[in-house]
Every structure is written in structure tokens, then in C-alpha cells.
């Protein structure tokens, strides 16, 4: 260790209490930042997973243009076979085929327009949380044909209960009149009006027959264990559809663009709070370093008189700050990672969150995301902020005149 570094290190501990207080502020700030950022990123992960788990899935294969236009004719031929093939090739996650059609749903008393989904009863529960939200009756079974599961609000609007019939009229894939009658076997209640008003699911085979779809459908839905697997699954799906130029693969971001935007806007408001925290810590460093420079004016005067150059003095202050900030960062990151690592394993829940999760068929605990980004981003900015705060005290030294400085109080 060369002399100036040793000098800087010793200078720090001439006022150990003051140094510890400043380091303490940095450590506190760092731990808080690591915890909050990890929690924030973790909650985004959860937000994405929960939204996608509801119905959309992480990846979908569709006909080109179906995403924008949702036309009946933009369908995938032999959809169950394609879904089976993708399921085997992927080897992880869940895959299910769906058909979708707009139809007029009518009970004895009322009529409403609905988006009817044809689903594979045996695979749908893997890609969507809806089947787990049945409050009355049951979900569709693989053997069902003229059976339907509807949302609670839709059931209420149509004034139907379990065992009642709903009639559907719409247009088939070939433009012909499509009509069918289905018996309500289950009523789904998610607590979210929008979902409860729109869900209407029938077995895929019956759907295909009613809408003259042949063996076709509109989407192969893939739900993966996590977001990390999305790129690989996308690539796999693309290789499968390579031979049919009409088919495309969409990832969740293409299907739910609002999700990323919501996250970006939440992120922006989060960073504002972090910035305030970081600026407060930077001022505390500025305060400490300015005081330590001012109280050592006479000492610095002597050092200048002995032949030290002002630049070396400024560098000394810089080194002191570097050491102090480095200490704050090292301790902060160490403490912060232990804390978030523990929470990422044990999970973290607000009061009432587990009940809420159970109600919506979602996980009841959230797990902060431990990554290099979440661990180092905050502390790195605090470190830089601290260094920046030392610039002003250091600059003051450049203008120090030896004699005047030695005479200073």
C-alpha cells in the first residue's frame, strides 16, 4: 500500500464515529435499495406471471394476422396435432389448443354477444388459472361435448344456473350459420368483472363441429415455468411452424403490450423515490468530507508548506471518500444480499395477501428477484453519488494558500 492510501485510511479513522455514521447511512441506503429493487423486479415477475397465467400464456402459435384481426378464417389446421407435437418437443411447461369465435349467446330470457372459446379440457388447466376458479359445479371433463363453463356475471346476465341451456348462434368458418345448445356445468368466479362477464368455454371438439372448423383452431397456448424459458420455447415453436408459412409465433409481449408499459411506468415512479434516497446519502457524504477538510485547513497548510502539491491533497480527499464509499458498498451489498436471498427462498407476504392469492388462484407469497442487477444497481449509484459529493471539498483544496491556511483557526 503506498503512502497516500495509508494516509487516507488513517485519516478516516481519526474520527471513527463520524466515519461509521456516514458509512452507516450508506449501508442503510444500500440495503434498502437492494431490498426494494429486488422486491420491485420480483413483483413485476409475479405481475407478468399472474397476468399470463390467467389465460394468455407465455407463447402462442397463431395464424398470421389473427392477433390484429381475429378473423374466424385465420385458423390453424390440425391444431390438436400441432399442440401435441409442440408438447413433446418442448418437454416442459404446458401446451393447449384453443378455438375462438364470436357468437350470440341466448338463454330463455336474454341474449348477449360473447367470445366463445373451444378448449381442450385435459390440457387447459395447465395453461390457464380459469379452470381453478370454478365456484359452482365443475370444470369441463375430457368426455364432455355439449357442455359449457361460463363466468358468474355472464351467468347472472343470462339468468342461467347449473343445468340450464344456453343457445349459440354465429357464423362458421365457411360462413355458414353456426348454432348449438350447451348445458351449463360450471360457473367461474374470479372476482374480476371483466373476466366473469366474458368467459364462455366449451369443449374444442364440439366447438369445431359447431363452427365448421374441421380439425382447426385459432391458438396453441404455451405456459412455461418462468419467463427465463421464453426465448428457448419461442425458438422451438418457430422451428415447428417453419413448414407452414401462414403460422406465426407470438411471445407474451406481443400479445399483451400493456403489461410492459404498466411495468415501465411503475418503474419510473419507483426510480424517482430511489433518486431522492441516493441524493440524501450523497449530501451526507458531502457534509462529512467538507467538515473534515475545513477542520484540517491548518494541517493541509503545513503539508503544502512541506512541499506537497495541492493536486495530491485533492487526491487524498478523493481516496478517503473512495475508501469510505467502498466500505459502505461492501457492507451494504453483503447485508442486502443476505436479506433478499433469505426472502427469495422463504417468500414474502403482505398481511392478507395469501387469502387474496387463494381467491384468485394465484401464488400467495412474492419472491424478491435476486440478480446481479438488483444487487448492484442501487449500491453502484450510491457509490458514484458519494464520489461526486467529494468533488467540491477536493476542489477547495486546490485553492489553498499555505501561509493563510496555517494561520486559519
Partner 1 sequence: MWKSVVAGAVLLCSATAVSQEITADDVIRKAMDNYRGLTSHGQMSMTIHRQDWQREMAMNTWTEGDKRTLVRVTAPAKDAGNGTLSVDGNMWTYSPKVNRVIKVPASMMSQNWMGSDFSNKDVSKDTDIIDQYQHQLVGNYEQDGHHVFVIQSIPHEEAAVVWGKEVLHIRDDWVILEHQFWDQDDTRVKTLRTLEIREMDGRNVATVIRMGKEDATDEWTEVRTTLVDFDIELPENLFTLSNLRNPR
User: What residue ranges bind partner 1 (CB under 8 A)?
Assistant: 72-73, 104, 106, 110-113, 167-169, 171, 174-177, 179-181
Chain centroid offset of residue 344 CA: 15
Cα separation, 20 vs 331, in Å, equals 12
Nearest distance from C-beta of residue 156 to partner 1, angstroms? 16
Shortest separation between residue 170's beta carbon and partner 1, angstroms: 9
Q: How far is the CB of 192 from partner 1 (least distance, A)?
A: 21
Nearest distance, CB of residue 201 and partner 1, angstroms: 19
CB 94 within 8 A of CB 223: yes
Cβ 126 to partner 1 shortest distance, Å = 32
Q: Which is nearer to partner 1, 212 or 371 (CB)?
A: 212
Query: Which of 181/279 has CB closer to partner 1?
Result: 181
Q: Which residue, 101 or 133, is less far from partner 1 as judged by CB?
A: 101
Of 99, 35, 105, 94, nearest to 73 by C-alpha is 99
Kindly tell me which of 114 and 331 has the beta carbon lying closer to partner 1.
Answer: 114
9, three cell numbers: 485510511
CB–CB of 324/285 below 8 Å? yes
Residue 50 CA to residue 256 CA, distance in Å, equals 12
- Least Å from the CB of residue 64 to partner 1: 12
Q: Which residue(s) pair with 170 in the sheet?
A: 103, 178
Q: Which is nearer to partner 1, 83 or 248 (CB)?
A: 248
Beta carbon of residue 171, minimum distance to partner 1 (angstroms, whole number):
4
Q: In angstroms, what is the minimal distance from the CB of 176 to partner 1? A: 5
Q: How far is the CB of 183 from partner 1 (least distance, A)?
A: 13
Secondary structure string (H, E, C) spanning the chain: CCHHHHHHHHHHHHHHHHHHHHHHHHHHHHHHHHHHHHHHHHHHHHHHHHHHHHHHCCEEEEECCHHHHCCCCCCECCHHHHHHHHHHHHCCCEEEEEEEEEEEEECCCCEEEEEEEEECCCCHHHHCCHHHHEEEECCCCCCCCCEEEEEHHHHHHHCCCCCCEEEEEEECCCCCEEEEEEEEEEEECCCCHHHHHHCEEEEHHHHHHHCCCCCCECEEEEECCCHHHHHHHHHHHHHHHCCCCCEEEEEHHHHCHHHHHHHHHHHHHHHHHHHHHHHHHHHHHHHHHHHHHHHCHHHHHHHHHCCCCHHHHHHHHHHHHHHHHHHHHHHHHHHHHHHHHHHHHHCECCCCHHHHHHHHCCCCCECCCCCHHHHHHHHHHHHHHHHHHCHHHHHHHHCCCHHHHHHCC
Nearer to partner 1, 28 or 112 (CB): 112
Minimum separation from the CB atom of position 106 to partner 1 (A): 4
Taking the least distance from each CB to partner 1, the nearer of 174 and 355 is 174
Q: Which is nearer to partner 1, 104 or 335 (CB)?
A: 104
Instruction: Using the minimum distance from each CB to partner 1, give the nearer residue, 51 or 106.
Output: 106
Amino acid at each position: 500500500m503506498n503512502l497516500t492510501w495509508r494516509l487516507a485510511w488513517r485519516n478516516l479513522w481519526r474520527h471513527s464515529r463520524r466515519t461509521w455514521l456516514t458509512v452507516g447511512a450508506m449501508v442503510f441506503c444500500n440495503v434498502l435499495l437492494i431490498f426494494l429493487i429486488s422486491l420491485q423486479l420480483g413483483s413485476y415477475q409475479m405481475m407478468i406471471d399472474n397476468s399470463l397465467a390467467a389465460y394468455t400464456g407465455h407463447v402462442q402459435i397463431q395464424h398470421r394476422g389473427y392477433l390484429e384481426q381475429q378473423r374466424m378464417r385465420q385458423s390453424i389446421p390440425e391444431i390438436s396435432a400441432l399442440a401435441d407435437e409442440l408438447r413433446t418437443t418442448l418437454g416442459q411447461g404446458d401446451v393447449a389448443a384453443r378455438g375462438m369465435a364470436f357468437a350470440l349467446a341466448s338463454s330463455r330470457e336474454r341474449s348477449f354477444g360473447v367470445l366463445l372459446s373451444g378448449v381442450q379440457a385435459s390440457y387447459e388447466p395447465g395453461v390457464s388459472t380459469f379452470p381453478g376458479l370454478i365456484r359452482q359445479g365443475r370444470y369441463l371433463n375430457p368426455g364432455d361435448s355439449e357442455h359449457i363453463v361460463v363466468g358468474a356475471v355472464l351467468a347472472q346476465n343470462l339468468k342461467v344456473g347449473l343445468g340450464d341451456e344456453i343457445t349459440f348462434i354465429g357464423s362458421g368458418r365457411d360462413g355458414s350459420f353456426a348454432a348449438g345448445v350447451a348445458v351449463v356445468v360450471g360457473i367461474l368466479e374470479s372476482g374480476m368483472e371483466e373476466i366473469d362477464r366474458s368467459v364462455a368455454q366449451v369443449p374444442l371438439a364440439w366447438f369445431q363441429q359447431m363452427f365448421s372448423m374441421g380439425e382447426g383452431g385459432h391458438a396453441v397456448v404455451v405456459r412455461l415455468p418462468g419467463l427465463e424459458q421464453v426465448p428457448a420455447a419461442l425458438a422451438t415453436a418457430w422451428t415447428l411452424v417453419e413448414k407452414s408459412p401462414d403460422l406465426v409465433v407470438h411471445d407474451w409481449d406481443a400479445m399483451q403490450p400493456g403489461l410492459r408499459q404498466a411495468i415501465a411506468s411503475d418503474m419510473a415512479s419507483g426510480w424517482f423515490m430511489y433518486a431522492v434516497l441516493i441524493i440524501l446519502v450523497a449530501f451526507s457524504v458531502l457534509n462529512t468530507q467538507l467538515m473534515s477538510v475545513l477542520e484540517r485547513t491548518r494541517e493541509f497548510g503545513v503539508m503544502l508548506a512541506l512541499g506537497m502539491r495541492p493536486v495530491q491533497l485533492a487526491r487524498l480527499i478523493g481516496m478517503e471518500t473512495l475508501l469510505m464509499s467502498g466500505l459502505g458498498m461492501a457492507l451494504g451489498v453483503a447485508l442486502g444480499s443476505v436479506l433478499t436471498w433469505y426472502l427469495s427462498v422463504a417468500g414474502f407476504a403482505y398481511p392478507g395477501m395469501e387469502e387474496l392469492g387463494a381467491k384468485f388462484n394465484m401464488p400467495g407469497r412474492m419472491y424478491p428477484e435476486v440478480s446481479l442487477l438488483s444487487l448492484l444497481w442501487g449500491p453502484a449509484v450510491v457509490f458514484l453519488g458519494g464520489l461526486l459529493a467529494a468533488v467540491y471539498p477536493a476542489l477547495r483544496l486546490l485553492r489553498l494558500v499555505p501561509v493563510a491556511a496555517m494561520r486559519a483557526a
